[in-house]
Structure 1
Amino acid sequence: MPTPARVRADACPGVFATHDAADGPLARVRLPGGTISAAQLRALADAAEACGDGDLHLTSRGNVQLRGVTRPGLAGRLADAGLLPSPSHERVRNVLASPLSGLRGGLADVRGLAAALDDLLCATPELAALPGRFLFAFDDGRGDVAGEGADVCWRATGPGSGTLLLAGGDTGRRVTRADAVSTLVAVALEFCRIRGTAWRVAELDDPAWRGTPVPRTEAEVPAGLIERDGGFAAGVVPRFGQLSAGQARALAQFGTALVTPWKSVVLPDVPADVFDRLGFGGTALGTTACIGRPGCAKSRADVRADAVFRPGLRAHFSGCERRCGRPSQSHVDVVAEDGGYRIDGRWVPIDELKGCL
């Protein structure tokens, strides 16, 4: 069943239209395909210190947020770093791509497709009208980003072939890799033409925008040293997806980085002693959380202080029913309420929290 179309204005944050959080304005910086060069990562670290709270906050769409942006100059810094190629399109550059593509596994190499889509997206004036939550994706066949709720996705079925997914459903339309970018842009243009008040493909009533549901694949969160042809890559998993400016600069010493939809970072080409040199991020962490108090006025608790970590636990701690930042993969749902938390629907007092997880 389609979900009801939206009646309120699209307030998805960007750089020019920030979100007013309890800890100050929040700016979201889009990174199509999660790709960020070493120079851009350093520029973001500098901007976080100069304009915000000093940290980079990774998102579940492979983007970066800066919080507490109370000092001027952010847009100029990002533009100088090449992170704002089209101010009119900056909120609609939402593109996922399989982060391990071309490094390990997968049926096709989707590297370069996100950048090509971004170029065409920014060169198409009509697509500046896309809602800020509309999401593109390129899946290399392993099924990792195909399960992340993209409105339109090209999923590889072979090195040069793939299928078109709409809102996670397979349309049966076969598309070559060479035509993937132009096809996704054509779908987005048609969506703009007919969408009415809908923000997402799943909100459309037209059955032509439906496909056969595709079984979910549990995504592999890249963590630790990753063997690849001719060397190593690394999956860096910062606690709560939050990097200090210093940690971001440490990552930049290894060149281009890929921010994943699982609030982690892939470094495609690293030495075997990368984690000795970094000093952090070599172990997968199953617990995630929204920003909680004091950063969010709607949160009922400091969920990051209350969060429970233990081996094998996959849980998401939310300060309220909005469940911001929750992962798409299966997890234990932990939502703050007065005096305690509701764990998968069962209320427990705060002093019993650790014993129930």
Structure 2
Amino acid sequence: MRPSACPGLLRIVPALDGGICRVKLAAGALNSAQALAIADAIDEHASGIVDITNRANLQLRGVKRGQEDALIAALLDAGLGPQNATHAFADDVRNVMVSPAAGRDAHALFDTTALASDLLSLLQGDARCAALSPKFALLLDGGERLMMLDHPHDIWFSAMPSGDRAEPLFAFGLAGCPPVAAEHANALAAVAASDVIALTRALLHTFLDLATPEHARMRDVGAVHSPDDVLAHAVRKSGVSLLRGEPVERWRREPADALRRLGAFQQRDGQRWHVGGQPALGRMNSAMLRGLAALSQSNEGATLHMTPWQNVLLTDIGTANVTATLQTFETLGLATSTQNPLTRVIACAGSTGCAKSLADTKGDALTLAARGVPVQTQVHLSGCPRSCAAAHCTPFTLLATSPGRYDLYTTHDPRERAGFGRLLARGVTIDEAADLLNASAAPPFDEPFDA
């Protein structure tokens, strides 16, 4: 294995609470047999705990020393490794994010399931992709209402209305996100759906052609090469025809709705539903996994999907089973409504699991949720500036400064959204933070508060 700080299925990285093994899921999907295999594996070889990541993967924590090979073998036997891979590092590069409701969301412009599978095949089958960083990631957005649009990606594609064109179109860009608001950067161009794979291959090869050893991400190449230069290089390689000009520049992606990750929503066929629930702080134990596997098995055709909001979606539920499915989620410990404040709090592993963390963020997050979190907001507790639990800036961030103490930031001021946003308070306790957050509907803070 090549050196890397990123855990993978084949590369278990040590942490304060034991080894970390990251299982990358194709389109976030997990069938019932795989869920049971993970439950058995973490009970026997790890701590019995698994975290859902903000890229809809699973992170197995507390892997026991000397049990690494046995755990890896169990996961590979369950079909959780790269499929039909042609290079040794295929597991590292399986980074394609789609909607957890892809192919089922009634608002989608395009069913991305087959195209996402083709992108994974490209990443796993192209030997040059072995040189990509394990963090290099692609976004494929079909226009679903349930879609994570805030995570920056090295290459993103987003379905756009094609007008009178016979073939669907995808707008695309580099080192960023699809534009939603007027102030967001425009798409670079648009391409026919049938050309997405060829263009992606050319963009990946272009990145590898232009990158120096210090360039791990597309933004690094973008710092020394203009987007037009990168695109021209890729077009020469692919021969793909691009649509550019005012229609693409004016295009804005319809806003997504993250609340559709919770509760029940009808799918595009009008006959079935997807049901979503949030485990506290994105963490599941083996009993919860077994319960979810049993629920999937009892609903014919249902599939579990992890989401980038660190929750679980069970798709293809018949109308007659929706109420019982929601009740089972709650019984298993998954919140199905935003009325539960735990659906509005995220936290990293904290000082119980990570030596870099300055506070017990998991424990403090539970305390904060118990005090109440304002409706229609989100709070992120980070044990250090690396922000491992959130790939985007949340409305409020509590950045640990010492055990039980945090600096409070907000991104509500659009003029100050760099880093964690604007500093509101220094060195506050969780109780003080709760008071400030619950008063956040009052006039804005003029000066930072010092505890």
- Compute the displacement of 1:190 (Å): 2.0
Query: Residue 56 of structure 2 is aligned with which of 59, 62, 76?
Result: 62
Task: Give the letter for the 2:262 counterpart.
Answer: A
Task: Give the letter for the 1:139 counterpart.
Answer: D
Give me the identity figure in percent.
30
Which residue number corresponds to residue 349 of structure 1? 428
**Further displaced range: 154-163 or 282-291:** 154-163
Q: TM-score, normalising length from structure 1?
A: 0.90
Q: How many angstroms apart in 2 are the aligned matches of 1:349 and 1:171?
A: 41
- Compute the displacement of 1:147 (Å): 3.0
Which residue number corresponds to residue 227 of structure 1? 266
Q: How many angstroms apart in 1 are the aligned matches of 2:153 and 2:128?
A: 20
Which residue number corresponds to residue 396 of structure 2? 332
Which residue number corresponds to residue 217 of structure 2? 200
- Compute the displacement of 1:303 (Å): 1.4
Task: Report the 3-state secondary structure (helix = DSSP H, G, I; strand = E; otherwise coil) of the residue aligned with 2:258.
Answer: coil
Asked if structure 2 preserves the Cα contact closer than 8 Å seen for 1:262 and 1:327, the reply is no
Which residue number corresponds to residue 6 of structure 1? none
Q: How many angstroms apart in 1 are the aligned matches of 2:9 and 2:265?
A: 34
How far does the alpha carbon of each residue in 1:253-273 deviate from its partner, in whole angstroms, 9 at most, with x for none?
323222111111211112212
Asked if structure 2 preserves the Cα contact closer than 8 Å seen for 1:334 and 1:341, the reply is yes
How far does the alpha carbon of each residue in 1:210-263 deviate from its partner, in whole angstroms, 9 at most, with x for none?
897997846514101112220211112111111111211222232322211111
Which residue number corresponds to residue 315 of structure 1? 379
Asked if structure 2 preserves the Cα contact closer than 8 Å seen for 1:56 and 1:242, the reply is yes
1:174 maps onto 2:167 in alignment: no
Query: Residue 82 of structure 1 is aligned with which of 79, 83, 101?
Result: 79
Q: How many angstroms apart in 2 are the aligned matches of 1:170 and 1:46?
A: 47
Q: How many angstroms apart in 2 are the aligned matches of 1:214 and 1:298?
A: 42
Indicate how the Cα distance of structure 1 residues 349 and 155 shifts in structure 2: closer, same or farther if over 3 A, else same. Answer: closer
Q: Which has the larger radius of gyration?
A: 2
Asked if structure 2 preserves the Cα contact closer than 8 Å seen for 1:316 and 1:327, the reply is no
Indicate how the Cα distance of structure 1 residues 218 and 256 shifts in structure 2: closer, same or farther if over 3 A, else same. Answer: closer
Indicate how the Cα distance of structure 1 residues 213 and 219 shifts in structure 2: closer, same or farther if over 3 A, else same. Answer: farther
Which residue number corresponds to residue 4 of structure 1? none
Query: Residue 360 of structure 2 is aligned with which of 302, 323, 338?
Result: 302
Q: How many angstroms apart in 1 are the aligned matches of 2:104 and 2:256?
A: 19
Task: Give the letter for the 2:92 counterpart.
Answer: R
1:114 maps onto 2:130 in alignment: no
Q: How does 1:31-42 map to 2 (within 5 A)?
A: 31-42=25-36
- Compute the displacement of 1:291 (Å): 0.8
Indicate how the Cα distance of structure 1 residues 51 and 152 shifts in structure 2: closer, same or farther if over 3 A, else same. Answer: same
**Further displaced range: 21-30 or 325-334:** 325-334
Indicate how the Cα distance of structure 1 residues 283 and 155 shifts in structure 2: closer, same or farther if over 3 A, else same. Answer: same
- Compute the displacement of 1:171 (Å): 4.5
In the comparison of the two structures, how many residue pairs are matched?
Answer: 349
Q: How does 1:1-357 map to 2 (within 5 A)?
A: 10-70=4-64, 71-72=67-68, 73-85=70-82, 86=85, 87-104=88-105, 105-142=107-144, 144-158=147-161, 160-168=168-176, 170-196=186-212, 197-204=214-221, 205-208=224-227, 209=230, 217=255, 219-221=257-259, 222-228=261-267, 229-252=270-293, 253-254=295-296, 255-270=302-317, 271-272=321-322, 273-278=324-329, 279=331, 280-281=333-334, 282-284=336-338, 285-307=343-365, 308-309=368-369, 310-312=373-375, 313-328=377-392, 330-338=394-402, 340-344=405-409, 345=423, 346-350=425-429, 351-357=431-437
Q: How many angstroms apart in 2 are the aligned matches of 1:49 and 1:34?
A: 22
Q: How many angstroms apart in 1 are the aligned matches of 2:196 and 2:314?
A: 26
Asked if structure 2 preserves the Cα contact closer than 8 Å seen for 1:223 and 1:237, the reply is yes
Asked if structure 2 preserves the Cα contact closer than 8 Å seen for 1:108 and 1:158, the reply is no
Relative to total residues, which structure has the larger helix share, 1 or 2? 2
Q: How many angstroms apart in 1 are the aligned matches of 2:38 and 2:12?
A: 16
Q: How many angstroms apart in 2 are the aligned matches of 1:219 and 1:131?
A: 30
Asked if structure 2 preserves the Cα contact closer than 8 Å seen for 1:38 and 1:256, the reply is yes
- Compute the displacement of 1:182 (Å): 3.3
Q: How many angstroms apart in 2 are the aligned matches of 1:100 and 1:337?
A: 38
Higher relative contact order by CA 8 Å / sep ≥ 6: 1 or 2?
Answer: 1
Task: Report the 3-state secondary structure (helix = DSSP H, G, I; strand = E; otherwise coil) of the residue aligned with 2:113.
Answer: coil
Q: How many angstroms apart in 1 are the aligned matches of 2:160 and 2:77?
A: 39
Task: Give the letter for the 1:199 counterpart.
Answer: A
Asked if structure 2 preserves the Cα contact closer than 8 Å seen for 1:91 and 1:132, the reply is yes
Asked if structure 1 preserves the Cα contact closer than 8 Å seen for 2:148 and 2:258, the reply is no
Q: How many angstroms apart in 2 are the aligned matches of 1:214 and 1:161?
A: 12
Q: TM-score, normalising length from structure 2?
A: 0.72
Q: How many angstroms apart in 2 are the aligned matches of 1:65 and 1:83?
A: 13
Asked if structure 2 preserves the Cα contact closer than 8 Å seen for 1:34 and 1:63, the reply is yes
Indicate how the Cα distance of structure 1 residues 192 and 146 shifts in structure 2: closer, same or farther if over 3 A, else same. Answer: farther
- Compute the displacement of 1:333 (Å): 0.9
Which residue number corresponds to residue 5 of structure 1? none
Indicate how the Cα distance of structure 1 residues 44 and 114 shifts in structure 2: closer, same or farther if over 3 A, else same. Answer: farther
- Compute the displacement of 1:322 (Å): 1.8
- Compute the displacement of 1:132 (Å): 0.6
Give the root-mean-square deviation of aligned CA atoms: 2.4
Q: How many angstroms apart in 1 are the aligned matches of 2:351 and 2:90?
A: 32
How far does the alpha carbon of each residue in 1:69-108 deviate from its partner, in whole angstroms, 9 at most, with x for none?
1123121112111111245211111110022233221211
Asked if structure 1 preserves the Cα contact closer than 8 Å seen for 2:276 and 2:311, the reply is yes
Asked if structure 2 preserves the Cα contact closer than 8 Å seen for 1:102 and 1:110, the reply is yes
